[in-house]
Amino acid sequence: MFKKITLLSLIAALFSSAIVPSASAVTESTPTKALVSTTWLKANIADPNLILLHVGDNDNSVYARTHIEGAQFIDWKTELANSSESKLKNGVVTRQNFDKVLKRLGVTSKSTVVLYAEAKSGLKATWGAWVFNLYGVPDVRILDGGLLKWTAGGGATTFAATAAKPVGTFKATVASSKLRAKIEEVVRNAKLKSGTRAVIVDTRDAASYEGKAAGTGLGTAAKAGHIASAKSIPTASILNADGTFKSAAEIKAAYAAVGVTKDTKVILYCGTGLLASASWFALTQILGNSNVKNYDGSWFEFAATAPEAVIETAAAAK
């Protein structure tokens, strides 16, 4: 009798350990709840507090043909970015408009928001995670590898419309100045002496950093080169070939090579802030760094308006 009870207890323990609790969502390689695996999503997809978001552009998205069951669509161009009202190439959706988005999606203070990208590039999902954090949403996560990783692992998709959620009650906070850098702050840091300034990191490819290309992804910048003092860590170098993030150890090593530790002040930029949003996610949501800003004006704005003294065209960073 004792042996039978012991065996039943062991089976029960093994079964319970296989369930992935929503509070400890992790990928296989990264110990963070902010980056969830397809395994985690399958285990938690029926959670009534889950707000699953398919991020795309309304004019060319695959959402109508294929999306994860239960996912709502969020338009990157109008509900996360704000190029129509902003002086920046992308810009950030206004607080007033984002409040409308939160209501439409059914976001509450208890919601777990999980965004996923529809293409191999997860940049629009990381931008979305940055915006949700910018406006104070407390539990925001990304599906590592997005829709392609989901389908590659046998995850089911549908074209059926997702039922609307009850109207959301969460109100966006004032955009956090701790997560977003403006050009004045970037110029000031570029002028400061080493040791007193934030580490500015260029997340574009090496050719753009070295001044061999002036493209930004949304057009050609006024000049080629990089921000004075900036270090080069391309976002592509912290991602795997399938678009998933590299391990926490690999990301940490890449930034440690330019002197970035967990407490270092960091300002990230790229052409328009989109690439930099993925590096922001890696540093803050995967490594837990608390002093990292995305400069979404980025090179497109900086090359056109910053003083010549803080623009470098040579590859050597001071």
- Just list the catalytic residues: 270
Asked if residue 67 lies in contact with residue 73, where contact means CB atoms within 8 angstroms, the answer is yes
DSSP the chain: -HHHHHHHHHHHHHHHHHS--GGG---SS---TTEE-HHHHHHHTT-TTEEEEEEE-TTT-STTT-EETTPEEEEIIIIIB-TTTSSSSS-B--HHHHHHHHHHHT--TT-EEEEEESSS--HHHHHHHHHHHHTT-S-EEEETTHHHHHHHTT--EE-SPPPPPPPP-PPP-PPPTTTB--HHHHHHHHHSPTTTSPEEEE-S-HHHHTTS--B-SSSB-SS-SEETT-EE--GGGGB-TTSPBPPHHHHHHHHHTTT--TT--EEEE-SSSHHHHHHHHIIIIIS--SSEEE-SSHHHHHHHHS-GGGEE-SS---
Closest Cα to residue 275, out of 228, 231, 236?
Answer: 236
How many angstroms separate the CA atoms of 305 and 116, rounded? 34
In the chain, the largest separation of any two C-alpha atoms, in whole Å, equals: 83
Q: What angle do CA 116, 122, 127 make, to 5 degrees?
A: 85
